[in-house]
Structure 1
């Protein structure tokens, strides 16, 4: 197999689905294991990939092995598979707080490791994944991994010291954005708009605004100023957001996110 997943939860399924639909790899080239047999069987039915209950089978038979499990399970799973990992195998991790040095120590020997941080918009092919590697991974191998990751969005190589910031600014941030959309929709409902339309207007406004940042290359502050007419309604709303500490709240939330990652 070219690609194996140990753990096949929502994030793994999103990644696999994107990789297959983008035709980067076929379902026949992917294998996954998971302790939840019913969920694994459903994934096999939905995506057509190979499945097994044996983590070692995935580790032994995959060129790239993705550890798509929660951080608290890394120790046990790595102990289980470390003896069967081949020298040419590339280990890809997606958990926060798991540094390359720590992971190398868990394997107890030289292993090729690529540390990544994807996010849930991978479910709709719009994810972004931060990527860094250890010294054993060649640039060619890193490019291969980034190509796989591009199957469900964008992949951006960063220095490892930035990975906790990546986790805060993209890995966890969909939750902040969903809260913002929900709050805007609640306000629209309060003004008499039906809830289904309120969610549609709020979500499309966020989507379109993000697209403007990506496609125009303009500073977000400049784009904000373009909406704020002198003495108008938008600048009045911006004044209230500043008064209530929107920026500070977001910064403090992301700071807390990074601090939590450092303790995992």
Structure 2
């Protein structure tokens, strides 16, 4: 993508900053071609001093400056953000929303007819450029628009395209999933401390165990159950632990957690 393309951010919070960092790290554009507006002047000064981006005094200024505009605001702030840019847009500009639970139809209703829109559900590991993002296109977003957006979010991790009707499932899985994984990590650390390991040692071992196992699944391409069988010896330690987890219903609990979070996402979207 040529450097002359300008990107705009309405909202400079953690996720907005992660995307800015990803754009720059992947050399998708120069810092001077990133335009940012945030309601906090202090936040803008921090982004400017850290990344060299161009700070703007209003959402309208961002809309006047950028070909692709990220709506990186909280859901409750979406309506005023859209009001601030609607009259400054043309159909050549791509709108990319990362506001959780806000459907494309709501954004489209507030913007000019024919505006290309892509809705994204990123997750918090994007803050360390290890995110998992799902993207859904509005009816005016072309393959070219989607390719651009996928490239942007792949600069902060993994990105896939899904139908918008699946975004609640994505929210329950990868959107809320870091919370489930963090609980598992915390529990494993506490178990190690219970058994006498120093907390720092327990933390290091657990983090590497989790990340290494994910890498094993990714690199081999094998089914998790198949890999699990490889390390589960008859009468050994792993099968003893797995037996307890099955007795306590870990598998069903995780499945129910994803389902509950997806249903909650649907409820919030309807509101």
Bucket of the pairwise TM-score, normalised by the shorter protein = over 0.9
What's 1:13 paired with?
17
Aligned partners of 1:193 and 1:263: how far apart in 2? 43
What's 1:251 paired with?
255
Is 1:80 aligned to 2:87, yes or no? Answer: no
Is 1:235 aligned to 2:249, yes or no? Answer: no
Alignment of 1:182-193 (within 5 A): 182-193=186-197
What's 2:209 paired with?
205
TM-aligned CA deviation for residue 102 of structure 1: 2.3
Assess if the C-alpha contact under 8 Å between 2:23 and 2:152 holds in 1. yes
| The one of 110, 116, 120 aligned to 2:120 | 116
Runs (4+) of structure 1 moved beyond 6 Å? none
Report the secondary structure of 1:161's partner residue: helix
What's 1:195 paired with?
199
Assess if the C-alpha contact under 8 Å between 1:28 and 1:49 holds in 2. yes
Assess if the C-alpha contact under 8 Å between 1:8 and 1:68 holds in 2. yes
| The one of 103, 108, 112 aligned to 1:99 | 103
What's 1:53 paired with?
57
TM-aligned CA deviation for residue 71 of structure 1: 1.0
How high is the TM-score relative to the length of structure 1? 0.96
Assess if the C-alpha contact under 8 Å between 1:96 and 1:164 holds in 2. no
Aligned partners of 1:83 and 1:36: how far apart in 2? 23
Aligned partners of 1:85 and 1:199: how far apart in 2? 49
Count of residues in correspondence between the two structures: 264
What whole-Å deviation, never above 9, does each CA across 1:46-83 have from its counterpart, x for those lacking one? 11111123111011211001000111111121122111
TM-aligned CA deviation for residue 236 of structure 1: 0.9
Q: RMSD of aligned C-alpha atoms? A: 1.3
Assess if the C-alpha contact under 8 Å between 1:122 and 1:128 holds in 2. yes
| The one of 15, 22, 26 aligned to 2:26 | 22
How high is the TM-score relative to the length of structure 2? 0.94
Assess if the C-alpha contact under 8 Å between 2:172 and 2:265 holds in 1. no
What's 1:177 paired with?
181
Assess if the C-alpha contact under 8 Å between 1:6 and 1:33 holds in 2. yes
Aligned partners of 2:22 and 2:200: how far apart in 1? 28
Assess if the C-alpha contact under 8 Å between 1:6 and 1:66 holds in 2. yes
Assess if the C-alpha contact under 8 Å between 1:60 and 1:86 holds in 2. no
